[in-house]
Amino acid sequence: MKVNLFVSRDIEHPHADIHTNELTDNITKAINILESEDQNEMLAVKNGSDITLLELQDIFMFRVEDKQVKVFAENNEYTVKKPLYQVEENLTKDFVRISKTTIVNLKKIERVAPSLKGMMFIQLKNGLKDNISRKYLPDFKKALDL
């Protein structure tokens, strides 16, 4: 689907027009997001040329790989065009940064264990693994009330 965005300082009330020959589930989700008061509960992500709207609660991890921000859900991997710090600004308190390149959903953690050189190891419920760096460990513990 082709998406056009027009930004104008002359518009008092922003609005969106959607032109389609079929009302699909993704278009319905997009309408719901645009009309919603709380727009921070969904994130538009890409899988190839497809755009998918993910609920934040379904996201396990954000990680920078090959200069791209990858979004990991239970069984799928997506990308977003925003840099990681911009993604982080729009996340709920359920998400915490664990390293320069990784943000995890606290509700998706299966276990945390000590690792090398003062770092901690984290495993998510979908099997993803990463290290919590020493720099971000205090914030991680604070997020877990430890």
Per-residue pLDDT tens digits of the chain, which is 146 residues long: 777 777 777 777 777 788 888 888 888 877 777 766 554 578 889 988 888 889 999 999 999 999 999 999 999 999 999 999 999 988 988 999 999 999 999 999 999 998 777 778 999 999 999 999 989 999 998 988 86
Q: The pTM is what? A: 0.72
Question: Where are the domains positioned within the chain?
Answer: 41-143
* Residue 39 pLDDT: 47
Contacts of 68 (CB under 8 A, 6+ apart): 79
Structure tokens at 47: 């899988």
* Residue 24 pLDDT: 85
Contacts of 95 (CB under 8 A, 6+ apart): 56, 62, 88, 103, 104, 105, 106
Side chain identity, residue 22: E
Structure tokens at 123: 């495993």
* Residue 146 pLDDT: 66
Judge: domain 41-143, CATH 3.30.390.50.
no
